[in-house]
Structure formats: C-alpha cells, structure tokens
Structure 1
Amino acid sequence: MRRIVAMLAEEAEQQIRDQVWEMEPSDRALAREAEAGLRAAVGPPDVQQALPQINRLEHLRETLAVLAISLARTHGHLAWFLSGAINALEPVLRWRALPADRGGTFGTVLAIPEDYTEAEEAIRQLQDALARITAD
C-alpha cells in the first residue's frame, strides 16, 4: 500500500510541476477537505497503535469513505489520483477484526497488527501528498 501511494504522490507532483495538471480552486479545496478528513480518521502512530484492532479498522474504513465521497465530487486528474488511492487501500475492505464463530465470513480475513500499521502509514503518506499538491 505504501509503495503504491508513494508512486501516486510522485506522479501527481510531477504532473503539477510539468503543468500537465493545473489544479482548479475547487479541486484544491476538495483535496484539502479530503486531507482533513483523512487526518481526522487516522491519527498519529502512537494513538492508532493504542486502539483495539476493531477501532483501527473502523478508522481505516472511514478513510475509504472520505476518499469515495471526494472522488464522487470531482473529475479529471484529482479523480484519477483519488481513485488510485482507493485502489491502493482496497485490501482494507476485506479485513475483519472479529473472529468468525460460525458460518461464512463473506471472503473477509483477519488482519494482523502489521497490516493495520501499513495501511495507517499509507494514509499518512496520502495526507502528506495531498498537503503538498495543494500548497500554494
């Protein structure tokens, strides 16, 4: 996840430097809003790691909701960037934090603490990337 987010951030910054992607004020505002939503959902490493896994998973799912809502409100380069971020974080959608007592789990898997940490670090990378691409 972190590698994919790093590649997305690098591509976005390059497109902006090369003036291939010129952010409109509305896209800049939406990207800042998405960044704030991501920061509100996933806090610093020490805070996140102290939470029970079920809460960590909840926070990660919130970030996907923030990204999906932002994606629904834009088009073009920002939409493509957000779509790539959602795709990078897609494994989170298959994670569960609760054991399966009986019956099926609909294809979900128990995530391990390292999975949560990687996803949270990818979110922080994404937060930073959004901050850089929206800087004036």
Structure 2
Amino acid sequence: MDMRRIVAVLAEEAEQQIQDQVWQVAPSESALALEAEAGLLDAVGPPDVQEALPRMKRLEHLRETLAVLAISLARTHGRLAWFLSGALNALEPVLSWRALPADRGGTFGTVLPSPDEYTEAEDAVRRLQDVLAQIGRVSP
C-alpha cells in the first residue's frame, strides 16, 4: 500500500470517529492539530512549488514533516497520538531515502527515490495537512 493510500485510510478513520463522536476532540488536541498542520504547510508547499525544487530540498522538506509529526506525537496521548503515529508510519519510507549518489562505499541501506515517490510522499503530507486542519476546527 502506498503512502497516499495509508494516509487516506487514516484520514477516513479519523473523520469517521469524529463524526460518530467516538473521538471527542479536546481543545488541546485541536490546538496541537492546527500547530502540526502549520508545520506541515511550512515544510511542504503546493505541488508546483515542490516539484520545482532540487531533490535534495524536497527530501529536506519531507524530513521536516517527520520532525513536525514526531514532536506533535511527543506532546499528546490518546486518539490524536494514535493518528500521528499512523501518519509517521505511513511516511516511514522517507527515512531510508537519500538525495546524493553513493560514489564509493555503502549507503547504510538508503535508496535514491524516484520523482514519483517524492510526489507520492508530498501528496500524503498534503492530505495530512487537510485532516489536521479538520481536527483543529472541531469544537468540543
């Protein structure tokens, strides 16, 4: 399953839990979700902007999204933490990516991602941005 699909499943589950009132979003969760969304927006911009960047910059931006999600995860518990954990797991392949060729020696298991893989990861981040914005707008 690709990153976009995993994030779509997470998003559907979060939206359903909120709609069914299984997840009663607390004000602190709303605030943290909006903070995380802002961090993701700072890291990954619109497709035309991201695709114009060199691969190294695109990878830097994707790694920044992992940092934003990890810091947010560290600051919460319960359903929002579970959601953020799932988001981090979905984007986990980014951790094994590199932007530089390996002239000599090993690469510690890293791989050069294709342009489509960058796009897939960036699309997944944009979907996460949307869901975090929705979570942030939930009124208790």
Q: Residue in 2 aligned with 1:26?
A: 28
Query: Structure 1 residue aligned with 2:110, among 103, 108, 111?
Result: 108
Paired residue secondary structure (2:62): helix
**TM-score, structure 1 as length reference:** 0.98
Query: Structure 2 residue aligned with 1:135, among 125, 134, 137?
Result: 137
Q: Residue in 2 aligned with 1:4?
A: 6
CA deviation profile, 1:8-52 (whole Å, cap 9, x unmatched):
010001111111111111111001000000000000000000000
| TM-aligned CA deviation for residue 134 of structure 1 | 2.0
- Deviating beyond 6 angstroms after TM superposition, the runs of 4 or more aligned structure 1 residues are none
Query: Structure 1 residue aligned with 2:63, among 61, 64, 81?
Result: 61
What runs of 5+ residues in structure 2 fail to find an aligned partner?
A: none
Q: Residue in 1 aligned with 2:78?
A: 76
Q: Is the 8 A contact 2:55 2:99 kept in 1?
A: yes
Distance 1:30 1:53 in 2: 30
Aligned residue pairs: how many?
A: 136
What runs of 5+ residues in structure 1 fail to find an aligned partner?
A: none
Distance 1:73 1:19 in 2: 23
Q: Residue in 1 aligned with 2:128?
A: 126
RMSD: 0.6
Percent identity of equivalent pairs: 79
Distance 1:67 1:116 in 2: 18
**TM-score, structure 2 as length reference:** 0.95
| TM-aligned CA deviation for residue 133 of structure 1 | 2.1
